[in-house]
Structure 1
Amino acid sequence: MEENLSGDPPDTMDVFAELAHKRVYIETYGCSYNFGDTANLEEVLKHYGSTRVASPGEADAVIVNTCTVVGPTERRMLRRLVALQEKPLFVTGCMPIVQREAILSVCTPVIISPDAIREAYLRVKTVAPGGAGIVQIAQGCLGRCTYCITRRARGPLKSFPAEEIREKTQAFVDAGAYEIQLTAQDVSAYGRDMGTDLPSLLSTISDLRGNYRIRVGMMNPATALPVLDDLVDAYTSDRIFRFVHLPVQSGSDRILEQMGRGYTVQEFEEIVSAFRSRYPDISIATDFIVGFPGETKDDFSRSLALIGRTKPAKVNVTRYSKRPFTGPFAEKDFPDSIKKDRSRTLNAYAEEQYSTVNRPLLGTTVSCVVTEKLRPGSVMARTASYQGVVIGRDLPIGVAAEVILKKDRKYFFMGDPVA
């Protein structure tokens, strides 16, 4: 369940006992799934009488929950491990699973495997109060993306029982959460390994008591397609934010094939169209990788054109990064200057689309619910389509408000409550 990379025999009792009654500092990097692991870990540590502190200087021990999705993140992880190793150091996340030697080159921490966190959490099952609750619904994926190191770290798809997910969702709602964030490496693959599917899960967790909405996490178009009709139907529930995060990664079918993504640009657009036909106000978020080996200027132009056609509410842009154990690792890489230029160009064009979509909304009144306290006197609220609205009032989590949209900040609006 745990491993000491120093070469000493692993503690066969319980790695968490080593942290009992200690002040623990935790740094978390990467995706919402990692943040879900950290939230679970913190609940386990509370069970052992430990206290989370805000800085390494206050801590008796340090935990780093790592990410290694791209090269710059890996290098940052190694720098942080070096900087934090003056205290007893524990490491979890994806990096120690696939890059043990890289970690050993800079430090000798104790490893807490993500599986160990899950096993320990299932014996505790408490949740922390707050505006949003992360609910992990599965681990691993069915994909064969040629560039991805995460699938090697997290393994094949392992969906979690629907009753377990339902219980945790209810626990978060009872603890005051309004926004329930469903997360996995591929949310739309849920259930494929045990004879069920994501639409069935959404139905199962949409009838709980309390005041809440569900944000469905990242879905691969390849696994969303087989359940598309039922998935679109599931979004009729008022419990589900009209928000879809559907990474396309490229606007070129040639590049998508080389990436091993398992769908075409046309199929991606069919998914977007199916949701928008039923819910015209739905927010679509997507991701692109620029500078993939062999990406021509024409391939890149096709990505720009796809953004222009689909006008996503959010575009996440990543510069291709060589990762060990992946297919394109040995292929010729683009110079950083080309990847940076394409990244800036794509980001700038996406932001033009945001302005085009957002401009007509200024001055209108929208209904939203407070989901997060940002700082004293300021909160984040979300519309039914997950549009973010920052309100300069100290409003409680879960309160509904009618808000006039005053300023467009591209990724969210500033708004004032209707008097």
Structure 2
Amino acid sequence: MSARTYQVVTYGCQMNVHDSERLSGLLEDAGYVKADQDGSPDVVVFNTCAVRENADNRLYGNLGRLAPVKARQAGMQIAVGGCLAQKDRDTIVRKAPWVDVVFGTHNIGHLPALLERARVESEAQVEILESLETFPSTLPTRRESAYAAWVAISVGCNNTCTFCIVPALRGKEKDRRPGDILAEVEALVAEGVIEVTLLGQNVNAYGSDIGDREAFSKLLRASGRIDGLERVRFTSPHPRDFTDDVIAAMAETPTVMHQLHMPLQSGSDTVLRAMRRSYRQDRYLGIIEKVRAAMPDAAISTDIIVGFPGETEEDFEQTLHVVREARFAQAFTFQYSKRPGTPAAEMDGQIPKEVVQARYERLVALQEEISWEENKKQVGRTLEVLVAEGEGRKDDRTDRLSGRAPDNRLVHFTRPTEPVRPGDMVSVEISYAAPHHLLAEGPALAVRRTRAGDAWEKRQAAPAAKPAGVMLGLPGIGAPAPLPAAPAGGCGCD
């Protein structure tokens, strides 16, 4: 018999994307084979998000479309995991009784066994644990990129933001030992990876679980000393925990990129208080000022929520003020989404949809203008671009390649005359700027073949299926290729 095939569909934040790599690794370790994009998989796994309402709608819509497919395909199984599964539990099987397995955020390692149990017993298996059983990084992994990788340094979150349900679903923060993290990074580098993104729900709170307030800055410096690692990024930090030693580590460690994604959520002190965000406008702008003093070339991005309950026009104007002062390279903007189970869902002063929409459009217009102005400052600069896979959707038609600059700006550039692979480095001169990308229309100034390019080439030589798509809201900030570009969006929970 041929091996059973699988597909993993991911919704939500970077943590979910990384968890999906673990799910793929678990399935392949159990003998499954990744389905070709044109085929019909034997197992479809939805790794879900619970932060925004359209994630629910997207899931149930896709489950509905799969029902007749499953009815026609003998032996097909459907599994639902992640944050929405942790929250809704039996609701998923009630709404979609054709689902075979429901599992939560704390027991992704059980997926192969749950699938087999559902097959043998011919009934749905629902298993939700209330606390983390095994740190996900100990599980098998199928990395989607040969040259860039996520490395989780912690799971869970100790914050109590009133709009966010993630801490209730992911649990309290648990930190990995620094030695385990560095060992994983070293192993990745040995495989050809040259860029890592350190990942946590509240990444710069790292150390709170092990009793060391400077643990995160120490981890940045230690990662930067790993031979062969060229780029270190991290996402997403919380302004409350952003300390001067982290800024110093970023500025003084050559391989830590001068790129920072730091969620603002609102510029109004009144709204921040209602959100239970433990900083105020002055504190946030003070961090920006310190980062820019230490790294004038830093590209800073953020998350912003528009229309939080009780937000007045004056409150919204304060958000616009911070956007003008901070001059973000990019902002992932969200209209407030009421989520059952969060304190904000029960607050008075829910804002009418038309008011939220109007404010959202004003914010987007302002940020587009600033992003374009900031990108224009890059024209004439020479940048070394890490060639990516899947970043430029028009590359084939325009005879260009695409990749990321050190500050994570997306760069499209003329294809060099010599062969270039994803993972290689190409130096180009920027000739044009748009709000969301840079363009280098002249010939490449230099091409540097890398171990990462070798690793990509080796992977291509072996039979392999194409990467799974990300269905909703993956920010481009620090996102290792080859995950496809997605609309502005993120979990908004940092």
User: What's the TM-score, normalizing by structure 1?
Assistant: 0.89
- Of 233, 238, 246 in structure 2, the residue corresponding to residue 215 of structure 1 is 233
Q: Give the match for residue 103 of structure 1.
A: 92
Identity, % of aligned pairs?
Answer: 28
Kindly tell me: are residues 79 and 128 of structure 1, through their superposed partners in 2, closer, same or farther at Cα, counting changes over 3 Å?
closer
The CA distance in 2 between the partners of 1:349 and 1:402, in whole Å, is: 31
Structure 1 residue 280 and structure 2 residue 304: aligned? no
Q: Give the match for residue 41 of structure 2.
A: 59
Task: Map residues 372-391 of structure 1 onto 2, 5 A cutoff.
Answer: 372=389, 374=391, 378-391=400-413
Q: Is the 8 A contact 2:376 2:432 kept in 1?
A: no
The CA distance in 2 between the partners of 1:138 and 1:211, in whole Å, is: 21
Alignment RMSD: 2.2
Partner SS for 1:361: coil
- Of 359, 370, 394 in structure 1, the residue corresponding to residue 387 of structure 2 is 370
- Of 308, 315, 334 in structure 2, the residue corresponding to residue 318 of structure 1 is 334
Superposed CA deviations along residues 288-321 of structure 1, whole A, max 9, x for unmatched, are: 1000011000110111111111100111101101
Q: Is the 8 A contact 1:389 1:413 kept in 2?
A: yes
Q: Give the match for residue 407 of structure 1.
A: 432
The CA distance in 1 between the partners of 2:137 and 2:29, in whole Å, is: 10
Q: Give the match for residue 184 of structure 2.
A: 168
The CA distance in 2 between the partners of 1:392 and 1:79, in whole Å, is: 40
Kindly tell me: are residues 267 and 126 of structure 1, through their superposed partners in 2, closer, same or farther at Cα, counting changes over 3 Å?
same
Task: Map residues 190-209 of structure 1 onto 2, 5 A cutoff.
Answer: 190-196=206-212, 197-209=215-227
The CA distance in 1 between the partners of 2:36 and 2:13, in whole Å, is: 21
Partner SS for 2:366: helix
The CA distance in 2 between the partners of 1:125 and 1:89, in whole Å, is: 20
Q: Give the match for residue 258 of structure 1.
A: 274
Partner SS for 1:195: coil
- Of 221, 229, 245 in structure 2, the residue corresponding to residue 230 of structure 1 is 245
Superposed CA deviations along residues 264-308 of structure 1, whole A, max 9, x for unmatched, are: 111011111111001000011111100001100011011111111
The CA distance in 2 between the partners of 1:129 and 1:315, in whole Å, is: 25
- Of 33, 46, 50 in structure 1, the residue corresponding to residue 32 of structure 2 is 50
Q: Which amino acid aligns with 1:51?
A: V
- Of 21, 28, 49 in structure 2, the residue corresponding to residue 39 of structure 1 is 21
Q: Give the match for residue 470 of structure 2.
A: none
Structure 1 residue 333 and structure 2 residue 350: aligned? yes
Superposed CA deviations along residues 143-172 of structure 1, whole A, max 9, x for unmatched, are: 110110111111111112222221222232
Q: Is the 8 A contact 1:371 1:398 kept in 2?
A: yes
Superposed CA deviations along residues 205-252 of structure 1, whole A, max 9, x for unmatched, are: 22222143111111110122xxx1110111121111111111011110
The CA distance in 1 between the partners of 2:409 and 2:145, in whole Å, is: 23
Structure 1 residue 418 and structure 2 residue 445: aligned? yes
Kindly tell me: are residues 36 and 229 of structure 1, through their superposed partners in 2, closer, same or farther at Cα, counting changes over 3 Å?
same
Q: Is the 8 A contact 1:132 1:371 kept in 2?
A: no
The CA distance in 2 between the partners of 1:355 and 1:275, in whole Å, is: 21
Structure 2: runs of 5+ lacking an equivalent = 71-75, 110-133, 447-494
- Of 205, 211, 219 in structure 2, the residue corresponding to residue 189 of structure 1 is 205
Structure 1: runs of 5+ lacking an equivalent = 1-19
Q: Is the 8 A contact 2:89 2:102 kept in 1?
A: no
Partner SS for 2:151: strand
Q: Which amino acid aligns with 2:371?
A: Y
Q: Give the match for residue 5 of structure 2.
A: 23
Q: Is the 8 A contact 2:5 2:41 kept in 1?
A: yes
